[in-house]
Amino acid sequence: MELLSHMHLFVEVARTKSFRRAADALDMPNSTLSRHIAALEKKIGLRLLNRSTRKVELTEAGEVYFKRCQSIVEEARIAHESLLDVAERPTGTLRVSMPADLATGYLAPIIADFAKAYPLIAFEFDLSPRPIDLHAEPFDLAIRIGPPPTTPSTLIARPIALLPRYLYASPAYLRSAAPLTHPKDLDQHVVCVVEGAGRLGRAEGTFYRGGESVSVTIGTRFAMNSVALSRALAIQSVGLAVLNHVLALDDVQSGRLVRVLPDWHLAPVQVHAVTETRLLPARVRLFIDFLKAQLSEP
């Protein structure tokens, strides 16, 4: 058991390439972690890590050992947590990175239901827009909007939802703007574009109605990386916003927004759960399955 414990510590240091980050993730003193790794190297009789004041790198032997240890430690962890599955008492901390707009506007009620269903699971959520490294940072999974990530190739992306998108505007905007009865009329309007952030001017959009589709030019005076901001600007009558119906529901019911071109919609956006491995702890598998089931409901 001591050897397996040392292997677990070594894997964490090798993943993060830092004793300090590994110690933080493991919730143990840096000095204790260093002592255990030194004991492991002494037992093996080979140096596994090259240490300097600035970084930690794997030796050639460390690279070979890391590849073998990683799967062994993961299998041991899954085997241990499978016992909790049998007892229907999944525990531990679930660490998730996800977009703030999706989390606060869409997933919060689902997360609340999941927390009630599994009271022994704790949660750490990171809602910053920065890209994360699932290999080096202590996240169990990332929820991402759009096509599945292509790099690194080892990541596993599981589709969990397709979110429909429609156009919304304030009644005041529609009263003062040009008539809008067909997607081709959008060349006379301003749309707050999210996926076109950083590309002002004109953008192309495709709208669908049954088996019919039409590609149009959309004005992008306002480009951003926040759905919440596009919604807020639409409420202020700045322009139109592309929103999912769930995000727009309260504003539609209160009269702040109305759906325009109600027979038309844009292509739905994909949502994926991204992990670094197919071997997932019980809490992670349950969370992904729960999200997928809830997001598939009308």
pLDDT digits (tens, 9 = 90+) for 251-268: 999 999 999 999 999 999
Q: Which of 84-88, 279-283, 293-297 has the lowest mean pLDDT?
A: 84-88
Percent of the chain with pLDDT over 70: 93
Greatest CA separation for the chain? 79
Whether 283 and 140 share a structural domain:
yes
pLDDT confidence band for 147 (50 / 70 / 90): confident
Computed over every residue of the chain, the mean pLDDT equals: 87
Last residue of a domain, one of 71, 86, 101: 86
Whether 140 and 175 share a structural domain:
no
pLDDT in tens, 233-251: 999 999 999 999 988 999 9
Last residue of a domain, one of 67, 86, 105: 86
CATH number at residue 219: 3.40.190.290
Whether 257 and 284 share a structural domain:
no
pLDDT in tens, 30-54: 888 889 989 888 888 889 998 876 7
Task: Find the mean pLDDT for residues 65-88.
Answer: 74
CATH number at residue 40: 1.10.10.10
CATH number at residue 104: 3.40.190.10
- In the three-class reduction of DSSP (H, G, I as helix; E, B as strand; rest coil), residue 239 is classed as coil
The answer to whether 98 and 143 have CB atoms below 8 angstroms apart is yes
Whether 23 and 171 share a structural domain:
no
Q: Tell me the C-alpha to C-alpha distance, in Å, between residue 39 and each of 8, 65, 196, 218.
A: 13, 15, 53, 63
Beta bridge partners of 123: 94
pLDDT confidence of residue 136: 81
Whether 174 and 110 share a structural domain:
no
In the predicted structure, residue 197 carries a pLDDT above the cut 50? no
Q: What's the domain range around 105?
A: 92-154+271-295
Q: What is the pTM of this model?
A: 0.68
Whether 187 and 261 share a structural domain:
yes
- In a domain, residue 125? The reply is yes
Whether 64 and 207 share a structural domain:
no
- In a domain, residue 159? The reply is no
Domain tally, the chain: 3
The answer to whether 283 and 118 have CB atoms below 8 angstroms apart is yes
- In a domain, residue 260? The reply is yes
CA distance 184 to 192: 17
Task: Find the mean pLDDT for residues 19-25.
Answer: 87
pLDDT confidence of residue 286: 92
DSSP single-letter state for residue 195: T
- In a domain, residue 52? The reply is yes
| Most confident of the ranges 79-83, 85-89, 135-139, 195-199 | 135-139
Helical pair 2-16 and 60-86, crossing angle rounded to 10 deg: 110
Whether 117 and 131 share a structural domain:
yes
pLDDT confidence of residue 268: 92
Whether 109 and 236 share a structural domain:
no
Whether 262 and 288 share a structural domain:
no
Whether 249 and 169 share a structural domain:
yes
- In a domain, residue 63? The reply is yes
In the predicted structure, residue 196 carries a pLDDT above the cut 50? no
